[in-house]
Structure 1
């Protein structure tokens, strides 16, 4: 996972990290956003359809190990689960792949529980978070050119009944590459097998400060939780270079496999979370980044943040 060699991308990514730190003042060693979280392990079993779309190992092998991290928005590790600022919730999935040239290999999918993002690129996202830092969100949202931020802010973000009863959407589009070299534009969704279940505002207010995370531990203690990894398949004319341009809901969807999570990481979970750096760019044969410029900015920001976190 290299840093970007593009100076403009690098500056925007670094500015994003430090702007978010200015907003939330996370303790040393914690993420500037999605600081509160929980790690679990499990497995991914692909469907036959997955191998028709992609030659990636996690889509062609019988199964691969998974590391998952659920999280709450903001850089406040002690944020109560009942606080609406914890929405959208996050889910990052790491697929552990066979070693290549003696090195550990993996690829990640990073998603959150709203199908929206405050900017089409790094510059727009940075402008939004700068407004948050400066306490100028109302003025920012009132400007006609900031439609993407308005869409994100006002999109419904109810508190889930459980972290395992929420659908998570990857922000960017990706490209699956099949055996014949055929490329398919897709957007990932991680859909709960339990079905989506959310709380009313009043129900959420009555919950304890850690009800989502303690509830997930209790649930997994009784048996695994599972999700379907699904892709929405793009058609000609569907935009891949701008995450805010959503594809029609009637687009075909394909189930790629089942994510099963059966164990909470209990061995020094804070240190484990501090160490892992998820990567928005796939970096694996069979899955390519789309032409969305936000991907490079996000990847640079994640690595800068991760290195600072590890050094703390």
Structure 2
């Protein structure tokens, strides 16, 4: 298993230089990624292979009637809709130490009256660790121990140096702090989607911002907390306040990259509020049997030809099947 702070520690001294690029592996399939996750975190039967530690929540989606670009979609034109969400910590280790900085995730299912669903997933980092599944797989592979059980941080540093599409995510990890709460974390959809508005394709990316504001904890404060505190903190905030998020569509320009989630669009891009996700309760098992596949979209929406996004459907399905069958 990856030890706490291992990934953060290897990035402390990172310096990017112009070297010849190391070639990532080729022809990576979804089952290769799932098997790699199990090697990195160990096998935990019946548990999600990634984002293993998490908590369910439920509530409603309140669409923004002023969002004219998307107003014709069933997602925004049928009033308040039920939501099931799952918040999580990155990695495949159950009961991960939540005091550590790093990845936090959010999966959301919105149910439409006709039984259709709209899924979206997000992470608290704005760029993915690789332009395609092969680059991502190669990066994760550098974290595997050798035959003596030892990891080589230099191997990881060399891979990051030689593969530019990993560098922005590595830089984010270098400065990442511990999330104060899921209710105070911003989530980025990473991938590009389209909406068909009267025959015109609108290019956008999801972004979910907490209405209570973004808040993090410094390392000294984090160590004063229990190793598992995020679920309890979310429950307390729900009891004391309204916990909600604004769901936004960041609109792309013609020149903005479509198929590379390792590239962030410029910060000056217009964003449109599509509505609010309002949580009402947390801590039940409502999300346990849900596979949060970001390619499950409602009428009018379509996915880009992003190779990482395409791979997610297959990898999620394999992980979902293994989880439900106790593997």
Q: What is the TM-score with the length of structure 2 in the denominator?
A: 0.85
The 10-residue stretch of structure 1 (278-287 or 134-143) with the greater mean CA deviation from structure 2: 134-143
Q: Which runs of 5+ in 1 are unaligned?
A: 1-7
Q: Note the 1:1-312 alignment, pairs <5 A.
A: 12-53=29-70, 55-84=72-101, 87-99=102-114, 104-134=115-145, 135-143=151-159, 144-155=161-172, 156-178=175-197, 180-266=198-284, 269=285, 272-312=286-326
Question: C-alpha displacement at 1:137, in angstroms?
Answer: 4.7
Distance 1:53 1:128 in 2: 37
Change (3 A) 1:90 1:242: same
Distance 1:190 1:128 in 2: 27
Question: C-alpha displacement at 1:273, in angstroms?
Answer: 4.4
Given that 1:166 and 1:196 are in contact with CA atoms closer than 8 Å, whether structure 2 keeps it comes out as yes
Given that 1:165 and 1:194 are in contact with CA atoms closer than 8 Å, whether structure 2 keeps it comes out as yes
Distance 1:52 1:249 in 2: 20
Number of matched residues? 293
Change (3 A) 1:26 1:226: farther
Distance 2:264 2:124 in 1: 15
Change (3 A) 1:137 1:121: farther
DSSP 3-state at the match of 1:132? coil
Distance 1:133 1:237 in 2: 37
* Larger helix fraction of residues: 1
Q: What is the TM-score with the length of structure 1 in the denominator?
A: 0.88
DSSP 3-state at the match of 2:143? helix
DSSP 3-state at the match of 2:209? strand
DSSP 3-state at the match of 1:52? coil
CA RMSD in angstroms comes to 1.8
Change (3 A) 1:239 1:303: same
Given that 2:57 and 2:279 are in contact with CA atoms closer than 8 Å, whether structure 1 keeps it comes out as yes
The 10-residue stretch of structure 1 (253-262 or 144-153) with the greater mean CA deviation from structure 2: 144-153
Q: Deviations over 1:96-134 (max 9, x none)?
A: 1123xxxx4211110011112111111111111111224
Q: Deviations over 1:292-312 (max 9, x none)?
A: 121110111011100110000
Given that 2:165 and 2:263 are in contact with CA atoms closer than 8 Å, whether structure 1 keeps it comes out as no
Distance 2:43 2:84 in 1: 24
Q: Deviations over 1:57-94 (max 9, x none)?
A: 2222111110110000111111121123xx21001111
Question: C-alpha displacement at 1:251, in angstroms?
Answer: 0.9
DSSP 3-state at the match of 2:178? coil
